[in-house]
Amino acid sequence: MLDAINLTKHYKQQKAVQGISLHLDRGEIVGLLGPNGAGKSTAIAMISSLIQPTSGEVRFEGENSVMEPNNLRKKLGVVPQEIALYEDLTAKENLYFFGRIQKLRGVVLKERVEKVLQQIGLADQGKKLVKNFSGGMKRRLNIGAALLHEPEILIMDEPTVGIDPQSRNYILETVKRLNHEKGMTILYTSHYMEEVEYLCDRIYIMDRGNIIASGTKEEIKNILSSEKTIVVKTERRNETFIQQLKQLPVISKLDESDQVITMVVPKEVQLFSQIFKFADETGAIVHGIEVQTPTLEDVFLHLTGRALRN
């Protein structure tokens, strides 16, 4: 449905995006995950034809939408990261304003405004001034403004940043509903891996202007399929016990805090009996051992050596 091919964007010395390619198939929710400054906003601004790429192409239904953006613009809704609303207008007045920009008029505009207020859960708040809204309500209205022309594709730039957990859940459920009920194709940008993990069918992970991994959740986690993490909970720190564990050559990483020791080992390694033997020898008391399967956060750490949330 939509293909971004080898997109780059350079600002003088700053290489914001360095040749990324991605595609959206109809009806998918696709995640674009990466830390702040990775280039996500720049990438989606190019994909939605808000800025010109330095090089590369965006094809929508086979047409080059960098050269010919009108067809894409009609079918695309963009939810920007920054809230773009008029504080001194009511929620309804804001929606009417954005609807008119989308060239909606008369009965159709009225119906769409009512429908969107329902979709974003603000049906009974339409007459309130936006300046009296909570951060979460403003975010929801910001999403509503992008839905008025009933887009086929929705691009969302970190739509849950800085809001309370309840509004965040509401937004995540709205995204799911739009996808399930309307078959809307969604590109969801975030630096919260748990959101992307919850919502998305496929994921692109971006860092420093590049896509460093892509695939389904399972495919991405399989990058770490050769390793597992073992977490040992102890009563108190025991230096001799830790030193004995550290000397095991199968352990590639070992982190310790007060009562928790975290180790990365090859998947096939069985370490339980060894851990209990060392505990017996050193007088360490082990409260529990847990084997963890990798998260997207672990994959990011593995690929870049840095945590996703900086």
Ligand X SMILES: Nc1ncnc2c1ncn2[C@@H]1O[C@H](COP(=O)(O)OP(=O)(O)OP(=O)(O)O)[C@@H](O)[C@H]1O
Positions touching ligand X (CB under 6 A) are 11, 14, 16, 34, 36-42, 158
Residue type, 15: K
Nearer to ligand X, 35 or 99 (CB): 35
Compute the least distance from the CB of residue 15 to ligand X, in Å.
8
Nearer to ligand X, 51 or 109 (CB): 51
Helices (H), 25-132: 40-47, 70-75, 91-101, 106-119
Compute the least distance from the CB of residue 17 to ligand X, in Å.
7
Nearer to ligand X, 16 or 116 (CB): 16
Cβ neighbours, 10 Å, residue 95 = 27
Distance of CA 16 to the CA centre of its chain: 18
**Sheet strands (E) in the chain:** 2-11, 14-24, 29-33, 55-60, 63-64, 76-79, 153-157, 185-190, 202-207, 210-216, 227-234, 253-256, 260-266, 286-292
Compute the least distance from the CB of residue 182 to ligand X, in Å.
26
Compute the least distance from the CB of residue 8 to ligand X, in Å.
12
Contact 14, 39 (CB under 8 A): no
Cα–Cα dist 109/111, whole Å? 5
Compute the least distance from the CB of residue 185 to ligand X, in Å.
20
Residue type, 234: T
First and final C-alpha spacing in the chain: 34
Nearer to ligand X, 38 or 154 (CB): 38
Nearer to ligand X, 133 or 204 (CB): 204
For residue 6, the SS3 value is: strand
Nearer to ligand X, 37 or 56 (CB): 37
Compute the least distance from the CB of residue 118 to ligand X, in Å.
30
